[in-house]
Chain A
Amino acid sequence: MPHPCTQTMTSVAVTVRGVSYAYGEGAARKTVLDEVDLTLRRGEFAVLTGHSGAGKTTLLTLIGAIRSLQQGQINVLGFNLAGRGAIAQEQVRRQIGFIFQDHNLFSALSAFRTLWLTSGLSPSPPSRQEALSRATALLEALGMGSYLHSMPGQLSTGQKQRIAVARALMNTPQLILGDEPTAALDHDASMLVISLIRQHLTTNGASALIVTHDDRIFPMADRVLYLRDGRLVNAA
């Protein structure tokens, strides 16, 4: 069995085949994903949108190995997620840069400390100095250069969210999964974040799948996917 982190360099970053997912049991069982198929190419920036409760976040968490598959196949960065245990899923998650809807930063950790901690997930963790350089560059790109040693309590919600974006990019992931990453940001900050993600994709050949209702992002995406009644529709 290949190591979960073994990446097969193909032109495809993510394939989703026949994935269905339901919550609840018996009469209360509700299907949120129904035979979903999706292919995300390397270097591609895809946006996933749809009504609330359409299953966007569920699909994102299945691709991100945060939830276990119930039915279907998902291959992420060359690793098949079907039937994998918690440890293997953990290994896959380490390869992915997550941007969650809530920043969930630790109040006790400065921006740099948060990013440095994240760098520990890298297969070859950088030294403190290397992490400092990387964190400085990321925060400067996000207009947060002077907040390197700020604590979350000293930052606005939008600033915290930008720290969370930097956290997702800290280990130069080959896949970025974002759940409403610009929801707490104003227009300029949103554009900065998306530009940085795009730049990351171009530079590193990485891919991104972003769940959002923010139509300001749509024009910047390579593809907009629409999830309706648990099924995926290519919108553009």
Chain B
Amino acid sequence: MLLLLARLRYLLGAPEAGLGLRFIAFRPARFIAAASGIAMAVLVMFVEWGLMSAILRSQAGLASLIDGDLVLMNSARDSLHEWTRIAPVRISQAAAVPGIAYAAPVFQSGMLLRNPPDLAVHRIVAFGISPEAPPLKFADPAVVRRVLARPDAVLFDKLSRNIYGPVGIGHRIELDGRPFEIAGTARVGPDIVMDGSVVMSDGAWRAREPDAWPVMGVLRVVPKGDLAKIRTHLRAALPDDVSVITVKELWWREVFFTFRAAPIGIIFGVGVAAGALIGGIVCYQILFNEVMDLRRELSTLRAMGFGARFFRRLILEQTYLLTAMGFLAGFAAAFATYRFLAATTGLAMVLDWRSALAVAIPAAMMGHLGGIFALRHLSGFAAADVY
């Protein structure tokens, strides 16, 4: 540690310390233009990364709303957006397994929402859950209990996209031709497939479809129950047409499915790479111009005996400074852009340290590579070039 501090003190006190900064600051207009170019590349990376994260998060959003330990699903079901159903008896069978304290079905289907004021019809996702012990955290359980106690009442997802016309508490709508009243709000959130949601009671669901099969069962184990052991018992007790997975596994499964099958990963990964490439080229171009403009001065230093290490430090200090300034400007621009995208798409655009790190790494790489390529030109200068 002391050695490191001594080294740091030497570096900061050395005559070449801050030389890159002086070169950059000497021509502020050029510096601003350069930082803006890099900021634009950083913004592209932030937007690509942010959209990918938001899509993955929203596609797996339902998994994070599950209020339970284990989920029972049709073993042929690949993702939460396939509503492959399970026989209701599987829920009862699971409830009978020792260690299971709670088992509740979740009904889900697409419905047509008709809004009487403008008679517009839009597809919406409908959930049917038990109001007494909700398996999904759509809203405060007391609100769910109170609202869904009425068979003609629904909770409307207040994060739904603004396509359903005027909706609010007390407003009457039609779902698949049956009248309902919006008696409360829920928080589900749209994704790239669905624009909005309504939640009704499982009783209301069965009233419209008496033989309905649920899309999943949410299970809770007894307090201090051994989750792995209970899961093994469940697998032994249930036939192969259902799978038993933890909520965490479900979330990751959904993320990977969307990442791979959509193929979100490739689409946005290419976007991030393109941003990094643009940034790298901008960095290189700026430093290349700097090196060419200062060719005689740099050759003079070489003729005086300054070595490769000095030049590497000079160029890389500039590239890191430019990248850092570009990153900060890009981060600020991304903050505003994320807010705009979140408001217009309804996707959960989150600018947190993970996003910052995910963009900072390729940004640092692009800056470093831009600097290295510029250095290659500099290494082509001979001391005799001073003449």
Residues of A within 8 A of B (CB): 57, 61, 64, 66-67, 87, 89-96, 98, 100-102, 104-109, 113, 116-121, 125, 127-128, 131, 167, 179
CB of B13 within 8 Å of the partner chain: yes
Stretch in contact with the other chain, from B99-107, B276-284, B296-304: B296-304
Q: Which of A64, A95, A104, A121 contacts B300 (CB 8 A)?
A: A104
| Min CB gap B304→A, angstroms | 6
Q: Which of B14, B16, B26, B296 contacts A108 (CB 8 A)?
A: B26
Q: Given contacts A66-B383, A120-B15, are A106 and B303 in contact (CB under 8 A)?
A: no
| Min CB gap A212→B, angstroms | 15
On whether the beta carbons of B384 and A94 are closer than 8 Å, the reply is: no
CB of B266 within 8 Å of the partner chain: no
Please indicate the chain B residues that have their CB under 8 angstroms from the CB of A93 in the complex. Answer: 303-305, 383
Given contacts A108-B26, A121-B305, A125-B15, 11 further A-B contacts (CB under 8 A): A66-B384, A91-B305, A96-B305, A106-B297, A108-B25, A109-B19, A109-B22, A113-B22, A117-B16, A118-B304, A131-B15
Q: Which of A61, A104, A108, A120 contacts B384 (CB 8 A)?
A: A61
Residue from B15, B23, B297, B386 with most neighbouring chain A CB atoms (10 Å): B15
On whether the beta carbons of A98 and B303 are closer than 8 Å, the reply is: yes
Quick one: which of B267-325 are within 8 Å of A by CB? 294, 296-297, 299-300, 303-307, 310
Residues of B within 8 A of A (CB): 13-16, 19, 22-23, 25-27, 294, 296-297, 299-300, 303-307, 310, 383-384, 386-387
Query: CA of A105 to CA of B299 in the docked complex: distance in angstroms?
Result: 11
Q: Given contacts A116-B15, A117-B19, A128-B13, are A105 and B304 in contact (CB under 8 A)?
A: no
On whether the beta carbons of B15 and A94 are closer than 8 Å, the reply is: no
Please indicate the chain A residues that have their CB under 8 angstroms from the CB of B16 in the complex. Answer: 117, 120
Q: Which of A106, A116, A118 contacts B294 (CB 8 A)?
A: A106
Of chain A, the residue at the smallest CB distance from B296 is A104
Of chain B, the residue at the smallest CB distance from A121 is B305
Of chain A, the residue at the smallest CB distance from B386 is A100
Query: CA of A116 to CA of B22 in the docked complex: distance in angstroms?
Result: 14
On whether the beta carbons of B304 and A121 are closer than 8 Å, the reply is: yes
Q: Given contacts A93-B383, A104-B296, A106-B297, are A64 and B23 in contact (CB under 8 A)?
A: no
Of chain B, the residue at the smallest CB distance from A65 is B383
Of chain A, the residue at the smallest CB distance from B387 is A57
Chain A to chain B contacts (Cβ below 8 Å), 9 pairs:
A57-B387, A61-B384, A66-B383, A93-B305, A101-B387, A105-B297, A117-B15, A118-B15, A128-B15
Residue from B22, B25, B299, B384 with most neighbouring chain A CB atoms (10 Å): B384
Query: CA of A105 to CA of B294 in the docked complex: distance in angstroms?
Result: 10
Q: Which of A91, A108, A128 contacts B23 (CB 8 A)?
A: A108
Please indicate the chain B residues that have their CB under 8 angstroms from the CB of A104 in the complex. Answer: 296-297, 299-300, 386
Please indicate the chain A residues that have their CB under 8 angstroms from the CB of B19 in the complex. Answer: 109, 117
On whether the beta carbons of B14 and A120 are closer than 8 Å, the reply is: yes
8 residue pairs, one from A and one from B, having the closest CB atoms: A94-B305, A108-B26, A93-B305, A104-B300, A120-B15, A116-B15, A66-B383, A117-B15
On whether the beta carbons of A66 and B386 are closer than 8 Å, the reply is: yes
Please indicate the chain A residues that have their CB under 8 angstroms from the CB of B310 in the complex. Answer: 120
| Min CB gap A136→B, angstroms | 16
On whether the beta carbons of A100 and B300 are closer than 8 Å, the reply is: yes
Query: CA of A69 to CA of B305 in the docked complex: distance in angstroms?
Result: 17
